[in-house]
Amino acid sequence: MPYKRSMIKKIRLAKIIMMAILIILSISYLLILILNSEFRASVTGDIIFMITFIITWLCLIIGFLAILMDFILMKKNIDFVKDLSDLSFLDKLTSLPNRFSIDRISSKYDSPEKLLHLGCVLMQLDNLKELNDKNGRAGGDKAISTFCTILESVGMQYGLIGRNSGNEFIVVIENCTQTSIDSFLELLGKRLHNHNTLNSEIPIRLRYSQILGDEISPEHFYVLIAAVYRKYESDSKVLD
């Protein structure tokens, strides 16, 4: 990847130099024609010379426009590749960051100091199997999609939201305290309650666990993740 970026920079530099040369030559031709009356007389007095001059000047302009078009196409291709790269880190069903995205973002927490005040909430739809049995796979997917919409609207103001796997969702909160987690869970609970009141045919029941980096002083990010998984197995709670 660094090699490709280096090649793109070299290609851009070469095209910028070529464009600068074409601009200088085009302007020079025009200035000579305007300022040098003898040369202008020679051009206008000889039809072949004039045609040759016009063709040469047009070639310079066309070359300039061709290089300009190259820059436009390169920009579009770079944006397209960036969009594809971003999509590869998003979950297809929910458009939330997926496991690969979480792995990539986790690299920023590369010291115990950054992990110390990090909070993590692990969540699963506790009744997903019931919804799948009752409404089919489409009903389960709809519940996941609806929950993710709620989770995103609540959680974006708190921190990173990700779908870690099929029915596992993670929220990571920086500079976190227990009050921050309680506030997040309270707001999420209200939104789920409103949803369940209005959509009794597809209720969402959530099971979760939460942990603070202050509790365990993790050495790296996945120590914190492993701890919240252990807590989920031993002391998870229900939210609906």
Quick one: 166 and 216 in the same domain?
yes
Q: Is residue 202 part of a domain?
A: yes
Q: What is the pLDDT of residues 81-125, one digit of tens each?
A: 454 344 344 556 555 666 666 777 777 777 777 788 889 999 999
Quick one: 145 and 212 in the same domain?
yes
> What predicted TM-score, i.e. pTM, was given to this entire model?
0.60
Provide the domain count of the chain.
Answer: 2
Q: What is the pLDDT of residues 39-80, one digit of tens each?
A: 777 767 778 777 877 787 788 788 878 878 877 776 766 554
Quick one: 114 and 223 in the same domain?
yes
Domain of residue 113 covers: 99-239
Count of alpha carbons within 13 angstroms of residue 12, beta-carbon side: 12
Q: Is residue 213 part of a domain?
A: yes
Quick one: 111 and 61 in the same domain?
no
Q: What CATH number does the domain containing 131 carry?
A: 3.30.70.270
Q: What is the pLDDT of residues 126-154, one digit of tens each?
A: 988 888 888 888 888 888 888 888 988 88
Q: Is residue 94 part of a domain?
A: no
In order of 89, 122, 147, the CA distances from 189 in angstroms are 28, 14, 11
Of residues 31 and 86, the one with the higher pLDDT is 31
Quick one: 180 and 228 in the same domain?
yes
Quick one: 64 and 112 in the same domain?
no
Quick one: 31 and 106 in the same domain?
no
Per-residue pLDDT at 46:
74
Contact 145, 135 (CB under 8 A): no
User: How far, in Å, CA of 204 to CA of 196, rounded?
Assistant: 7
Quick one: 84 and 127 in the same domain?
no
CB-based burial label for 182 (10 Å; 0-12, 13-18, 19+): exposed
